[in-house]
Amino acid sequence: MKKNTTLRSKLFWVGEHSYELYKNTDNLILDNFDNQVLLYQRLDNSVVNEKEIVFLDEFFPMNTREYCVLDLQKPVSLFMKDRKIPFEEGVIIGDASEILVQTVVEVGTLDLVDEDSLGKTVADFDLVHKMDSSAEFNKVDVSNFSILFLKEAMLFKDTLEAAKLIKNKAPKTFNKVISEKGDNLKMNEFLFHLENGLEEAISKSEGVELYAI
C-alpha cells in the first residue's frame, strides 16, 4: 500500500461504528486515500453532502430483504464488485459485531460457498470474478485487501460471539487482519503511517495489532 502519486489506496469504512470514526478523522489525512463509506440505510431525510457515502438500501432494492447476513450477501457482493474491489487493494474498516461487516467477510470467504446456490465449488480466487452474476451467493475476491476490526461497540453475548466467529473466518480471505487493541486506537496516527505501507502502520501505531486466532 505504498503511496502513489496517481492512484490512492482505498479505504472502505463499513457500518455505523466505522462511520463515526470516519467523521472524526482529520480531513487532510483522509484526502490521501480514496474513501468509501458503506451504510445500510439513511436514518433521516437530511441531505448528506459526503459523496463517499453509499446507503446499501438505496444502491440495491431491499423491499424483500431483511437486515441479516443471509439477505445482505448479494447486495454487498454487487456493491463491492461495482466498486472494483476484486481488482484493487486497500483496507476495510469495521466493527465485527455489526451485521454489515459480517456480510463483507462472508462474501469473500470461499470455503463457505453453498454448492447448491452456485452449482459448483469454487476453489481458486482467480475464478471468482468470472462467476455467474445471477447467482444468489456471489463471492468477491478480497485477497488484495486487509481488514481492520474495531473494538466491538455492542457488548452483548450473542453479538460478541458472532464477532469472534467472523474474525476467525477473515484470515482465510484477507491479506492481513488487524484488530483494535484496547481503547487506544488513534485513527489519524494509523492512517498517517498507512501512507507508507500497512506494515509500518501496524508497527508504529498505538492501539492496533495483527489478529491472532
Spell out the domains of the chain, with CATH numbers in brackets.
10-210 (3.40.50)
Q: Are 11 and 204 in contact (CB under 8 A)?
A: no
CA–CA distance, 202 with 208 (Å, rounded to integer): 6
pLDDT score of 205:
93
C-alpha cell at 30: 483522509
Q: Is 30 exposed, middle or buried (0-12, 13-18, 19+ CB in 10 A)?
A: middle
pLDDT score of 55:
93
The H or E element that residue 118 is part of is: helix 115-118
CA–CA distance, 204 with 171 (Å, rounded to integer): 22
pLDDT score of 144:
92
**CB-based contacts of 94, cutoff 8 Å, min separation 6:** 13, 14, 15, 17, 18, 100, 101, 104, 147, 148, 149, 150
Residue 27: CB atoms within 10 A of its CB come to: 6
Low-confidence ranges of the chain (pLDDT < 50): 1-6, 112-135
pLDDT score of 87:
85
pLDDT score of 126:
40
pLDDT score of 108:
84
pLDDT score of 117:
41
Block residue for cell numbers 473494538: 151
CA–CA distance, 162 with 149 (Å, rounded to integer): 13
pLDDT score of 184:
82
Q: Which of 175, 179, 200 is nearest to 190 (CA)?
A: 200
Q: What CA dihedral angle connects 162, 63, 120 and 173, to 10 degrees?
A: -40
For residue 34, the cross-strand partners are 10
pLDDT score of 45:
65
Task: Give the predicted TM-score (pTM) of the model.
Answer: 0.83
144-173 in b/e form (b: 16+ CB < 10 A) is bbbbbbbbbeeeeeebeebbeebbebbbeb
Q: Which of 71, 33, 50 is nearest to 148 (CA)?
A: 33
Q: Which of 145, 171, 209 is nearest to 11 (CA)?
A: 145
pLDDT score of 63:
84
